[in-house]
Amino acid sequence: MFASLLGLASALSWGTGDFVGGVASRKVGTYRAVLYGEAIGLLFLFAALPFVHEPFPDNHTLKWSIAAGVVGNFALLAFFEAMRQGRISVAAPLSALIGSIIPVIVGSFMDGLPQPIILFAFGLALIAVVLISREKDEGDPTGKNRYLLFPILAGIGFGLYFVLIHEASQEWVFGPLIAARTSGTISTALFLLFKQKSFRVKSGNWHLLTINGLFDVGGNLFFILAAQVGRMDVSAILSSLYPGMTVFLAWLILKEKLQFLQWVGIILALIAIILITTA
C-alpha cells in the first residue's frame, strides 16, 4: 500500500512538473526549459543535503546514476522535440506506454511475474495512459504520424531511466539523484553548445522553471522511494499515470475541455490504482 501511494505521488508530481514545464517551454524554448529545470532541481537537492545523512555514493552508484541522468535527459529532449513538432497527441501516449512497459519486462525477469490482479491492473493503467493522452489532431486526421521516431526514443529513454535509477538507488536516495541530475544538466548544456543555442532566459519566466524543477525532483524522489519499498515495475506503472495530472491541470487552469475518452481514461486509471493498492 505504501509503495503504491508513493508511486501515485510520483505521478502527481511528475504530471504537475510536465504541465508547468510545457508552459515554460513555450516561453523560453524546450531545450532551455529542460536545462534550467534540471539545474534548479539540482539546487533543491543540494539545499536538502544538510538535513539528510547519506555517505558519498560508491563507484557502482555513481556509474548507474550518471548513466540514468544522461539517458533521462536524452529522453526529455526527444519528448520535447516531439511536442515542438506538434505531435502532442502521439508523444504523450507512446512515450508513457513504452516507458512503463520496459520496467515491467525487466521486473518480470528480476522479481518474477506480479500477481494476476496486478497484471490486469497494469493493462488498465496502460489503456488509461493512452486515453488520457488523446487529443484531437486536426493537422493529421488520417493518423499517418502515429509512429514517429522522437516519441519512441523518448519512451525508450524513460523506460531505461526507471531501470537505471532503480539500480543506482538500491540503498540511497539523494546521492544517486544528485549524480544523475548533474550528469543530465552537463549533457544538456553541452548539447545546447553543440546546437549553438542561446542560454538566455527572460526574467519573467524563472518562476515557471523553478516550479518545474521542484516538482520534477519530487517525481524522481517519490519513484525511487516507491521502488525501494515495493516492486520497480508497479512503481513505474503508477508513475506513468502522470499524463492524468497534466490533463487535469490543463482543464483546471487553462480551461481546456476534456474529451469523453479522456474521462474514461481517468476512471480506468482510478480503478487500476485501487486494484494495485489493495492487492
Nearest in space to 89 (alpha carbons), one of 15, 147, 9, 44: 147
Nearest CA among 169, 148, 132 for reference residue 269: 132
Complete DSSP assignment for 19-74:
HHHHHHHHHH-HHHHHHHHHHHHHHHHHHHGGG---PPP-HHHHHHHHHHHHHHHH
The single residue listed with the C-alpha cell 510545457 is 22
Q: What pLDDT tens digit does each residue of the chain (279 aa) get?
A: 788 899 999 999 998 988 888 788 888 887 899 999 999 999 999 999 999 888 899 999 999 999 999 999 999 888 777 766 655 555 666 777 778 888 888 888 887 887 888 888 888 888 887 787 665 555 554 444 444 678 788 889 999 999 999 999 988 999 999 999 999 999 999 988 988 778 888 888 999 999 999 999 999 999 999 999 988 888 888 888 887 787 788 778 877 677 788 788 878 877 887 777 666
Residue type (1 letter), 90: V
Alpha helices in the chain (DSSP H): 2-28, 30-48, 59-84, 88-111, 116-132, 149-168, 174-195, 206-229, 232-239, 242-253, 260-278
